[in-house]
Amino acid sequence: MSTDSDSDRSSSADRHAPVKTAPEPIIRIWPIVPVDLKSTITRPMQVEIMVHVDDAGRVTGAEARSSDSTVSSSLKELAASTAKLWKFRPALQNGRPVAGETAVQFNFSPDR
* Nearest alpha carbon to residue 71 among 82, 79, 60, 61: 79
Delimit the domains of the chain by residue range. Answer: 21-108
Q: What is the mean pLDDT of residues 91-109?
A: 95
Residue 23 pLDDT greater than 80, yes or no:
yes
- Give pLDDT, residue 11: 47
- Give pLDDT, residue 20: 86
Name the pTM for this structure.
0.78
- Give pLDDT, residue 66: 66
DSSP 63-102: EE----TTS-HHHHHHHHHHHTT-EEEPEEETTEEE-EEE
What is the CATH code for 21-108?
3.30.2420.10
pLDDT tens column, 27-86: 999 999 999 999 889 989 899 999 999 999 999 999 998 666 767 889 999 999 999 999
